């Protein structure tokens, strides 16, 4: 396929590179990031979109998505698909989809899970909202960039799935870090705690696959000085999106709300910015009950 790719940063760059390796023709645009090898540099976002079968965007937030949609949708050919892989608010995802559909285009919101490592390895999971015809057209590209793509429903459903998943992840990681810090103060060996919890009812992805304790369980950012696999500030972004969505639909999410507040404190008032989201563990280690 001929693909326009807009947003070639830490996630978008490796995704575009994998499409090139699979034999697709990719034209890219980014305000700052370098072009991956094999990606043709476009002078503007609209130029990258011209003549493309699929335009993929990977952008920082909903406001930028709306601005880019205004530029590229008029440049796209009828029948092409506008596929946004950013993690943004549900309202912006639905607005971009409506704009694309009004222009005779297919539209998908397809946020990802798997981080920079998954983008490089081509093992991302895509959570996709939009019509089935557009999903079927882009599915071969999802198969190149990832290991799984789930069609979650109509426009906005992909973003809804992403923020619900990450609300669980944020709250679960906090609980996991709290438990390790408590175990330390109770004199319980971390490795023995892992052996128990990882095979008991406390089992979770945060514990079993991404353990926040260095030297315990599979390799994780904790074993690399908490250099981010998934940065704390990105977790904060997703938790805030979850609370924005909860407010919009009058959903009661007290755990999500508290997780957002704790990550905000960690990132904005403490030393969490630039660290992995699992670096909550040394934070709790250093704190006391009322601290």
CA distances from 225 to 107, 180, 192, 275 (A): 40, 17, 22, 9
Give the active site residue among 162, 185, 237, 275: 162
Catalytic annotation present for 148: no
Catalytic residues: 162
């Amino acid at each position: 396929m001929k693909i326009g790719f807009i947003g070639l940063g830490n996630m978008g760059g490796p995704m575009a590179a994998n499409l090139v390796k699979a034999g697709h023709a990719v034209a890219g645009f980014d305000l700052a990031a370098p072009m991956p090898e094999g990606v043709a540099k476009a002078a503007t976002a609209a130029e990258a979109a011209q003549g493309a079968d699929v335009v993929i965007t990977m952008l920082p937030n909903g406001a930028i998505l709306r601005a880019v949609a205004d530029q590229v949708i008029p440049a796209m050919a009828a029948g092409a698909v506008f596929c946004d892989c950013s993690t943004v608010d549900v309202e912006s995802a639905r607005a971009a989809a409506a704009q694309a559909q009004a222009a005779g285009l297919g539209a998908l919101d397809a946020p990802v899970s798997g981080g920079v490592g998954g983008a490089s390895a081509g093992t991302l999971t895509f959570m996709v909202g939009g019509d089935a015809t557009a999903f079927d057209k882009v599915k071969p590209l999802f198969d190149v960039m990832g290991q799984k793509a789930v069609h979650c429903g109509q426009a906005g459903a992909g973003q809804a799935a992403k923020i619900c998943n990450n609300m669980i992840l944020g709250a679960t990681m906090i609980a996991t870090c709290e438990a390790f810090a408590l175990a330390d103060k109770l004199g319980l060996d971390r490795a023995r705690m892992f052996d128990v919890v990882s095979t008991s009812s406390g089992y979770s992805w945060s514990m079993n696959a991404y353990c926040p304790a260095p030297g315990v369980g599979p390799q994780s950012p904790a074993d690399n000085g908490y250099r981010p696999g998934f940065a704390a500030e990105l977790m904060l972004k997703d938790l805030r999106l979850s609370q924005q969505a909860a407010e919009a639909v009058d959903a009661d999410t007290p755990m999500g709300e508290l997780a957002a507040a704790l990550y905000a404190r960690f990132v904005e008032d403490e030393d969490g910015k630039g660290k992995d989201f699992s670096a909550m563990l040394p934070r709790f280690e250093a704190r006391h009950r009322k601290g």
